[in-house]
Chains A and B, each alone.
Chain A
């Protein structure tokens, strides 16, 4: 396997990245948008 060229970074394939335990995170409820409402307060 050849060394990477100086000045370039070799990104490892995503699947060989550090193992993360699976996480399923609940966002906001059906009362309103879960993601699109972020920052709503500052919108006045």
Chain B
């Protein structure tokens, strides 16, 4: 039994469930528990000999203006903050591959503002066998970009979707048309078989509609969803009230899970800064490279351990490992006693300049001064009216028009107009009932819309909405099992 399990067991037996919950969620209590040896957080205490992963912030800039942006991209966009050049980034990626990383995240700002570079780096990393993730708002994912992304083996694409409707999303992100662009980007990638995860930032303006955004993502065919509260750093630390009703958040997620099962996993990131409570016990395993070339441990710790490409990632990593846990970093983290305390700390990540912990060359690119009051930092207002049904109809129209074809399968009837299907690729066998078999038939060089039309004609008493959801859920099941495959347009 682990120390954590012993601690939880003790708390339950002596004081009941409430104490366990409080200790799990409270930063200070967690820290005390750790220091008393009552709780051991997961992870390793010693940094690995080389970084396991690397996160590459290709650019400060973004085409949108989210007032909660953790990287504070709106400020940097206005300030024209300097980014590393293309050749610098090529050198960093070669260095990362050399250092042995097994996974990489290409992010920003909006990384597709440097489209050619982003695609090139993802391709280089993938060819070296590195698992890749692209974080994007989807705006620039047109057919050509989607075609290129499809060729990158092992790529996952994270797309931001901050509202169930255009009113909610566009209002939060400061860009009219950004909801439609995000949805279209997801559709283009899903139609090409590229795994898509959607990232939903919860704000006071959209918290009441979490159930709707989950349902819309599910209807669209998104693989998984991460729901995250606003971390009080970057732009969010310059103003606005970002607290949301946790009960409403978790209730909506649980209701969605009860309704749709586990076909679209939903992970709730509570932005609790809990890893700061476990600072010395959970050693870093990855590096973060800022657009300036500054090398950090991760986005929550505003400390610089070196600069690339003037220095190698390996050199920066060795500094981290040699000084871990650096006393200045521990002192900074110890002063943060609550989840929201990050925004009141001495050095707020992404809002303030990183603190240089170890001497490094003075080659950090610096941007122009910027007048902070000119940058959006207010909590998005709740739209006066939103058209949930219109947004749902748009999503369903997009998802049901996608075309599919049959994978390599063998099937035979089960005597009730259902069938047994064997997937040749992995040898799995499934049984489809009559309706699922009709969906499968419609998707053989056809679309879910064909199945919906056919089922609606033979079952007029069943609501169109129910049939649409059933068919799209069934398509998801058939895709997951590789019975059907997307047919790129």
Contacts and interface: CB of A to CB of B under 8 A. Distances in A.
A17 B474 CA distance: 19
A30 B458 CA distance: 36
- Where chain A touches its partner, the secondary structure class is loop
Interface stretch (B202-210, B346-354, B426-434): B426-434
Contact of A24 (B422, B459, B474): B474
B458 A15 contact: yes
A21 interface: yes
A28 B429 CA distance: 7
B436 interface: yes
Interface in A17-33: 17, 19-30
B154 interface: no
**Chain B: interface secondary structure?**
mixed
Q: In which size bucket is the chain B interface?
A: 20 to 34
Given A15-B458, A16-B458, A35-B420, A22 B429 contact: no
Contacts of A15: 458
B459 A19 contact: yes
Interface string B437-448: 011000000000
A28 B427 CA distance: 10
B370 interface: no
B477 interface: yes
Nearest to B476: A24
B428 A19 contact: no
Contact of B430 (A17, A21, A26, A30): A26
A27 B470 contact: no
Given A14-B417, A15-B458, A16-B458, A23 B426 contact: no
Interface of B: 417, 420, 422, 426-436, 438-439, 455, 458-459, 461-462, 470-471, 473-474, 477-478, 481, 483
Interface of A: 14-17, 19-30, 34-35
12 contacts: A17-B434, A19-B462, A20-B433, A23-B433, A24-B474, A24-B481, A24-B483, A27-B431, A29-B428, A30-B426, A30-B427, A34-B429
**Nearest 4 CB-CB pairings of A with B:** A30-B427, A34-B429, A22-B436, A22-B474
